[in-house]
Amino acid sequence: MIDLRSDTVTKPSEGMRAAIASAPVGDDVYGDDPTVNALQDRVAALFGKEAGLFTPTGSLANQLAIKSLVSPGEELLTETQSHIVRAELGAGAVFSGITTRTWSSAHGILQANEPLSIASPDAGPYIVSTTAIAVENTHNFGGGTIQPIEEIALLRTESKALGLKMHLDGARIWNAHVASGITFADYGSHFDTISVCFSKGLGAPVGSMMLASAERISEARRWRKRYGAGMRQIGLLAAAADFAISHNIERLAEDHRRASLIAHACAEISPLLIDPALAPTNIVAIDLRCTDSTASQLVAELKELGVLAGAMGSHLLRFVTHMDFDDQQLEKVLEVVPALLKRVLVS
């Protein structure tokens, strides 16, 4: 079975397992785990931030950042299809008592004027006050799209002038960096808080991190414990993440190359299915509105043919390439997927 449901399905490599096995550990609730401490310093430095905090999930890293930036009764602005509003089960409202308001952009691609035009900072006693804006890069439901750095920079300058903070949901910032060549420090310079994920394209079994000022991280550490995610000998997990940072970033270009070949092969069947320019990283989102099939029907048919894909709503079929997907499997996908799409295309 070829599994392209997500880049989270990867299994730790031999090298990663060896790194886990030999990691020095300690009790992280006491701050005594040398491996996680080193990882937090390493990743914070990479993004030009003072400190980092390891979390079991990206959702928790996002939520700790939101908690840090937005007070109860205030609002966070984010894109309509972002993970924070669609895939974290209302955690911002539940954990932090905040509200969200969304702007919508095609394929999730940021245009600074969109959030700026709905921002209402210091709105007084009648209207909810905006305190922060979240940007997702790459944009998951947008199809792995990359946020233009000029738009991020513009949004930073303009929103800072309004007194607003910015959060980066960088679960796949690794992919954005590899595809765009923009450094992590450059991305980091535009945000107050960042979340990154080690268990997506980088292939670690567990783990994410919040990055911010030392003060915000020290407060987030208390909240992490309060939420029940204080952990003990997590050097075992940090070693996997550290191995992933050392070995698995540049190879993401391979995932992007394979995703692009899938996108091009589908576009050849019909340009209405996908514009390959909108699949710049490791996600291929096929728009099925020009077919007579739903995403779940095609997911079931593809499963019969030995390929697992994802249904994102009724007419979006998603393939995600990753480190456990090789050229031999790609060949089979290029045989099976375009042929199936050709069959269901409404001409």
Ligand X SMILES: *Cc1c(COP(=O)(O)O)cnc(C)c1O
* Position 140 contacts ligand X (CB under 6 A): yes
Least distance between ligand X and beta carbon 83 (Å): 3
Residue nearest to ligand X (CB): 58
Comparison of 137 and 291: residue with beta carbon closer to ligand X: 137
| Cβ atoms of 116 and 159 closer than 8 Å | yes
* Residue 6 DSSP code: -
Coil vs helix vs strand at 228: coil
Specify the amino acid at residue 76: L
Q: How many residues bind ligand X (CB under 6 A)?
A: 12
x-or-dash string of contact with ligand X, 251-270, rule CB under 6 A: --------------------
Comparison of 57 and 233: residue with beta carbon closer to ligand X: 57
Binding ligand X (rule: CB under 6 A), the pick from 83, 190, 216, 224 is: 83
> What is the dihedral angle through the alpha carbons of 51, 162, 167, 253, rounded to the nearest 10 degrees?
-110
Binding ligand X (rule: CB under 6 A), the pick from 155, 196, 197, 263 is: 197
Polymer length of the chain: 347
Least distance between ligand X and beta carbon 159 (Å): 20
Pairing of strands 2-3, 307-308: parallel
Comparison of 197 and 288: residue with beta carbon closer to ligand X: 197
Specify the amino acid at residue 220: A
* Position 144 contacts ligand X (CB under 6 A): no
x-or-dash string of contact with ligand X, 97-126, rule CB under 6 A: ------------------------------
Comparison of 69 and 341: residue with beta carbon closer to ligand X: 69
| Cβ atoms of 136 and 169 closer than 8 Å | yes
Binding ligand X (rule: CB under 6 A), the pick from 33, 74, 79, 169 is: 169
* Position 5 contacts ligand X (CB under 6 A): no
Least distance between ligand X and beta carbon 139 (Å): 7
Contacts 24+ apart (CB under 8 A), 303-307: 305/336, 305/340, 306/1, 306/2, 306/332, 306/336, 307/1, 307/2, 307/4, 307/332, 307/333, 307/336, 307/337
* Position 136 contacts ligand X (CB under 6 A): yes
* Position 137 contacts ligand X (CB under 6 A): no
x-or-dash string of contact with ligand X, 42-81, rule CB under 6 A: ---------------xxx--x-------------------
Comparison of 88 and 291: residue with beta carbon closer to ligand X: 88
Longest dimension (CA), the chain: 64
The DSSP H or E segment spanning 210 is: strand 208-212
| Cβ atoms of 141 and 81 closer than 8 Å | yes
Query: Tokens representing 147?
Result: 């946020």
Query: Tokens representing 140?
Result: 């998951």
Comparison of 35 and 137: residue with beta carbon closer to ligand X: 137
Least distance between ligand X and beta carbon 60 (Å): 7
- Taking the alpha carbons at both ends of the chain, their separation in whole angstroms is 31
Specify the amino acid at residue 122: D
> What is the dihedral angle through the alpha carbons of 317, 323, 324, 327, rounded to the nearest 10 degrees?
80
Residues that bind ligand X (CB under 6 A): 57-59, 62, 83, 136, 140, 169, 171, 197, 200, 208
